Structure 1
């Protein structure tokens, strides 16, 4: 079953600095180097119409053939280059989850 790793960036303390760091870190290029990666999606959470804080700021989804492929990818040198960039810009917090994709 397809497995995705989702990186959920909570609202940063400084949005402009976060976005600059996201681009400057070349995080998506580093993610593309993960072995077995089949698809990558990056998305930014829409602002809420009432102006209240969003539940998160940005999401990155990394798709793999199955759980074993995803697990193997995060144990590689490529992941060793990627993960410090994730934690380095996550001033508001970050969550990383593995999920079974039920439909694609």
Structure 2
């Protein structure tokens, strides 16, 4: 059985310094409290060498053992707090995806 991954893609914020000042405490800590995940990955997109805007700014990936567990997780109060903070902090836009992981890393 394959895993399910929830990916949050934060587009470039209107004020990167304000986003960064709140990201760890308000977003990453909230993601850590969402139940049931196997692992969590947080990443920041490398800047482009030519100085042009990147296609995204940051990402958070939460891996679950299956789709049903991921669906259950996003309906919890902890996920509600995460999504509330996400909506508030993602001033440049945000995308949330649920994916079937076809080749798990372990």
Same fold (TM over 0.5): yes
Q: Secondary structure at the match of 1:69?
A: helix
- Report the counterpart of residue 8 of structure 1 in structure 2: 9
How many angstroms does 1:29 deviate by? 2.1
- Report the counterpart of residue 56 of structure 2 in structure 1: 56
Regions of 4+ moved over 6 Å = none
- Report the counterpart of residue 45 of structure 2 in structure 1: 45
How many angstroms does 1:72 deviate by? 0.6
Q: CA RMSD in A?
A: 1.0
How many angstroms does 1:21 deviate by? 1.6
1:17 aligns with 2:18: yes
How many angstroms does 1:33 deviate by? 1.8
TM-score (norm 2): 0.92
- Residues 1:55 and 1:85: Cα distance change in structure 2 (over 3 Å): same
**More displaced, 5-14 or 30-39?**
30-39
TM-score (norm 1): 0.94
Q: How many residues align?
A: 103
Q: Secondary structure at the match of 2:95?
A: strand
